[in-house]
Amino acid sequence: MSLEGQRTQMVKEQLQARGIVNPRVLAAFRRVPRHVFVPPQLVSEAYTDHPLPIGGGQTISQPYMVALMTERLRLQGHERVLEIGTGSGYQAAILAELALEVYSVERLPELLADVSDRLSGLGYLNVHLAAANGSLGWPERAPYDAILVTAAVPRVPQPLIEQLAEGGRMVLPVGPAQGQVLMEVHKRGGTVTEQPLIGCVFVPLIGEYGWPAGGEAPAP
């Protein structure tokens, strides 16, 4: 089967069959070539139903998890979105299809050169990249209508709450390193509420409001 055929099958069997219904989200997954964002030796696995390593101890997430997190942001097309954990750039490309501007922060600068080339080569000019401590967000470009965190945190980072616009939402995995709960966070009237979605396992977010390199949770 061609890569395009595999991508169509992925959308049908991995996303729609599991309840992803937003037509804009489904269309984005049909358009973005996931195989461009995986290492060359893993292209044959690009549309399979599991995460894949991309180097530096990082992964490109399972397609369904990317779709679920994206759908829960409920993007309409006018939003400014912050992504924490650029990784391969695949999630950023999906967001670029759905939002006005995407600001993506990655701790490992060696990943960003390839990501920049991939995104510009595919025509995504509305993605802005920075090498920085993702747990601190990107305060210079705040506020954001939506925030998506692609690595696990022990608790919702306070800087990200502060950078989330009134009425905005954030989706992120929260919990211990062994396994987390995907949380949807809302900010309304200055009040923050958290809604648990599903269990998940992500690589840890390293940083002041994430996990230190040694793996122990920071003090509350």
Are the C-beta atoms of 181 and 200 separated by less than 8 Å? yes
Are the C-beta atoms of 42 and 50 separated by less than 8 Å? no
Phi, psi of 148 (to 5 degrees): -125, 125
Are the C-beta atoms of 210 and 153 separated by less than 8 Å? yes
Instruction: From the candidates 44, 61, 116, 135, give the one annotated as an active-site residue.
Output: 61
Spatial neighbors of 178 by CB under 8 A, at least 6 apart, are: 201
DSSP state at residue 34: G
Burial (CB < 10 A; 0-12, 13-18, 19+), residue 189, is: exposed
Q: Which of 140, 145, 141, 138 is nearest to 186 (CA)?
A: 145
- With b for 16 or more beta-carbon neighbours within 10 A and e for fewer, the 90-107 pattern comes to bbbbbbbbbbebbbbbbb
Active site residue 61: yes
- Catalytic residues, by residue number, are 61
